Amino acid sequence: MSERVFINEVAPRDGFQIEPGFVPTADKIALIDALSPLGFAGIEVTSFTSPKAIPNLADADRVMAGIDRTPGVSYIALVPNALGVARALAAGTDELNFVMSASDSHGRANLRLTAADSLARFAAMADTGRAAGARLNVSISTAFGCPFEGPVDPARVRDIVARIAALGIHGVTLCDTTGMANPRQVAALCRELIAAWPRLELTLHLHNTRGMGLANALAGFEAGVTRFDAALGGLGGCPFAPGATGNVCSEDLVHMFEQMGVATGVDLDALLRVARDLPALVGHEVPGQVAKAGTAERRHPLPDGVG
Amino acid sequence: MSERVFINEVAPRDGFQIEPGFVPTADKIALIDALSPLGFAGIEVTSFTSPKAIPNLADADRVMAGIDRTPGVSYIALVPNALGVARALAAGTDELNFVMSASDSHGRANLRLTAADSLARFAAMADTGRAAGARLNVSISTAFGCPFEGPVDPARVRDIVARIAALGIHGVTLCDTTGMANPRQVAALCRELIAAWPRLELTLHLHNTRGMGLANALAGFEAGVTRFDAALGGLGGCPFAPGATGNVCSEDLVHMFEQMGVATGVDLDALLRVARDLPALVGHEVPGQVAKAGTAERRHPLPDGVG
């Protein structure tokens, strides 16, 4: 079992894209700059998509160009197509995160592309990215379940991963987009993919929609996964699954691993200070729990009269 | 790995005792009667403590006497002392759940008793309960960590369990009273205790204070635990740890195990109907997530224009 995990902070992209209000560009940049020195492996800064599709991230170019870069941190952008690749590279993105859906209904709803459509576009996008020296990753949405179709056949995901690996892409992220995965399912699929493609970097992107986020992270870790996406405060969600809570919360995930004795590289106390400012930034309470309860290291005073 | 788990519903005791308002006796009875036929192994109905200590459960005798009994369900009461045992037996309690704290500070704050004090009283309490034909269990609060003292030495818990087993008590519940446990800690202690006392029935009582509730349940299950306490809606908390969310949520726990293919015996759809009425009963939102998001079986309609 590995004793080190690597965490990508995705709130600036997966969280802010679904916020009820537009987070001002300067606030986005300030948040990313506050997160940069805290020890994350990567920060998903934004998404180079159509401003019509995701108005909240219409400032993608300005955000990516405006942040301070901490050496060793991979600054990631989600890119759905060749135009996104060009914009992301022009803005100085370190890592291109191509996005597709394992299930065709979700792909059509989210990207107007089936899985086959997306895969057909990735070869040219990968060539462009590789020529520019960018790291390349594919995030597979609905890798465990689709809110329209139900469970997704692991054989389908395996076929998709085979196609991605054949393109010379460095990493794949399995996304439980609407929190449908359970720990056994996560463990089984991750074990299978790690065994088949041991050099492909496998990341888990989990949502806590049904409370299983940390349990799924634990199951993935026990299956050999060492890379996780997470969002500050547990921001995020899915527009097609109302009522759903968001991503696995960064500070809760870091806290769990650190309590288990697994190093994350992240400065948890500093992260909690940033997390505690988040409700003021977004204008509402957020799901993260350690920011409210304090870490397991916290000591409470004895009640009066007990000594 | 066992493929069947047994769940005790503890919201009527561990949830209601800490609610801001007194839940009317008739509402308590109606809720327990709604829960009784749903497949729980046991229901912790109330606590036979001083009404001054826990005013919210001052109606313990009336609640225990007033509920309908479903055959096969163990109706449990928490009892801190000999007077509690007498009251609980008089009200027809099936199972006496003695309570103590692994850490002396918490024991003094909660019960005015050290661990040694509590253990010294249990012999006579157990004799009385056994003579009346009641099942006997001891809940060990702060079994993983104490909000005043910090981590609790597993050797101390092991010594306490040895003393309890020597009294001929049927079961022990390890309580993570303020949500300080992590999955590795849970797995290690459970494995050790199951190996040492294979016939002692071991239950995990977990809180979701720091988001690790289901991850800890998963770790316990993988270590061989098949019995879990949980509270409808995730009610509960700890008066000495403000900001803390409550118990592991019953419907979220049942949902996770059923999704994993592990039988719980609980009718999840019926449980979710009861859970959805809970906010109206207690007058506030509750932490449970599956009641809000729907189960992983839920299908959402495709957006307009996607076919």
Residue B283 and residue B27: Cα distance in Å, rounded? 13
pLDDT of residue B241: 55
pLDDT tens across B171-181, in order?
999 999 999 99
Cβ contact (<8 Å) for B293 and A214? no
Residue B42 and residue B116: Cα distance in Å, rounded? 28
Cβ contact (<8 Å) for A215 and B256? yes
Asked if the model's pLDDT at residue A240 lies above 70, the reply is: no
Architecture of domain B6-293: Alpha-Beta Barrel (3.20)
Identity of the residue in B148, B217, B219 whose CB atom sits nearest the CB atom of A300: B148
Asked if the model's pLDDT at residue B244 lies above 60, the reply is: no
Residue B230 and residue B236: Cα distance in Å, rounded? 10
The end-to-end CA distance of chain B, in Å, is 43
B197: its two tokens = 């006392």
What average pLDDT does chain B have?
95
Residue A217 and residue A227: Cα distance in Å, rounded? 10
pLDDT band for position B226 (50/70/90)? very high
Residue in B closest to A233 by C-alpha: B211
Cβ contact (<8 Å) for A211 and B183? no
A121-139 core/surface letters (b: 16 or more CB in 10 A; e: else)? bbeebbebbbeeebbbbbb
Domain chopping of chain A, boundaries: 6-293
Query: B147: closest CA among B234, B242, B225, B76?
Result: B242
pLDDT of residue A2: 55
B7: its two tokens = 């769940």
pLDDT tens across B53-95, in order?
999 999 999 999 999 999 999 999 999 999 999 999 999 999 9
Query: A75: closest CA among A86, A83, A64, A84?
Result: A64
pLDDT band for position B240 (50/70/90)? low
Chain A residues with CB-CB distance to B259 below 8 A: 182, 185, 212
A174: its two tokens = 């399995």
Q: Give mean pLDDT, residues A33-54.
A: 96
Host H or E run for residue B124: helix B115-131
Sign of the torsion angle spanned by Cα atoms B42, B45, B49, B55: positive
